[in-house]
Amino acid sequence: MTENSPSLVTASKFMSLLLRHQPEAIGLSLDAQGWALIEDLVRLSQNSRSPLTREVILDVVRTNSKQRFSVSEDGLRIRANQGHSISVDLGLAPIAPPEVLFHGTATRFLEAILAEGLRPGSRQHVHLSADPATARQVGQRHGKPVVLVVASGAMHQAGHEFFRAENGVWLTAAVPPQYLKVAVDSP
């Protein structure tokens, strides 16, 4: 199967729902670090509209270009790499970020963001990209894209913590407005 196969897309969305937001929808239990047993995910999903198999789960993990999920070294557990709206400790150590990072959003949100900064909303962290192209792709999901440059080095020096998820997404609690500017090639 390929990443764009309808069954893998459906499975990926369903796995995101369960591993990031609503494990209780099928009675799935996550540990404090967000891990679930793959056999539980398979078993509990069988009565849903999107029953999963171990093969489909591993295909989603392997083929997802955004690397949304990780499988434990022993191959028994799975978790989402970031984006949780439920409380999860991913066990990430704070790390010094590059001098600048990027955030993609839609132009309709720009005025509020520049006034209030970036907040995680329903998620645990604000998600940042290491490059403007990735940020633009993220922004396109929400409307006409705009890329913001985040002065992450200056934020870090001021005491803000940064983390890097297994898939390379940078995470921080919030970005105050004084650390934001619109990228030169954005509207």
Q: What is the reported pLDDT for 141?
A: 87
Residue 14 in contact with residue 64, Cβ under 8 Å? no
Instruction: Give the pair of three-digit tokens for residue 56.
Output: 């489909």
DSSP letter string, the chain: --TTSHHHHHHHHHHHIIIII-GGGTT----TTS-EEHHHHHHHHTTSSS---HHHHHHHHHH-TT--EEE-TTSSEEEESS--SS-----PPP-PPPS-EEEEEEGGGHHHHHHH-B--TTSSSEEEBSSHHHHHHHHHTTSSEEEEEE-HHHHHHTT--EEE-TTS-EEES-B-GGGEEE-TT--
Q: What is the reported pLDDT for 88?
A: 79
Distance CA(174)–CA(126), nearest Å, equals 6
Q: What is the reported pLDDT for 126?
A: 94
For the chain, domains (ranges, CATH) are 6-80 (1.10.10.970), 101-182 (3.20.170.30)
Q: What is the reported pLDDT for 5?
A: 46
pLDDT tens track, the chain, 187 positions: 444 445 899 999 999 999 999 999 999 999 988 999 999 999 999 988 889 999 999 999 999 878 889 999 999 999 998 878 787 788 889 999 999 999 999 999 999 999 999 998 878 889 999 999 999 998 998 899 999 999 999 999 999 999 998 888 899 999 999 999 999 776 5
Antiparallel, parallel or unpaired: β 69-71 and 77-80: antiparallel
